[in-house]
Amino acid sequence: MKAIRYIWRAESPTKKQRGNDRTETHTVHAELSPSENSGYNYAVQQVKDELLNIKSTILTAIAILIEVLTK
């Protein structure tokens, strides 16, 4: 089994001013098929799916924050 790693970094301005930043590292494992190319494509698709999940989570958090702040 091979792994493709990517790093997603999110920095908050207030934390950055204090010299801290929050870094989250996600590792996506993909089993490669006998064909390296199709296995690579499968792994890339898994990374894309994970990035879409992260985007969805961020948008949901923003929507909740807006709802809370407007009440």
Of 6, 12, 43, 44, give the one whose Cα is nearest residue 24. 6
HSE value, Cβ hemisphere, 13 Å, CA-based, for 60: 6
Count how many domains the chain has: 1
pLDDT along the chain (71 residues), means of 10: 46 48 50 58 82 89 90 83
Task: Give start and end residues of each alpha helix (H) in the chain.
Answer: 13-17, 36-70
The model's pTM: 0.44
Q: Which two tokens stand for residue 47?
A: 């990374």
At 38 the pLDDT is 65
Instruction: Note the pLDDT of residue 7.
Output: 46
- In which domain, by residue range, is 52 found? 2-70
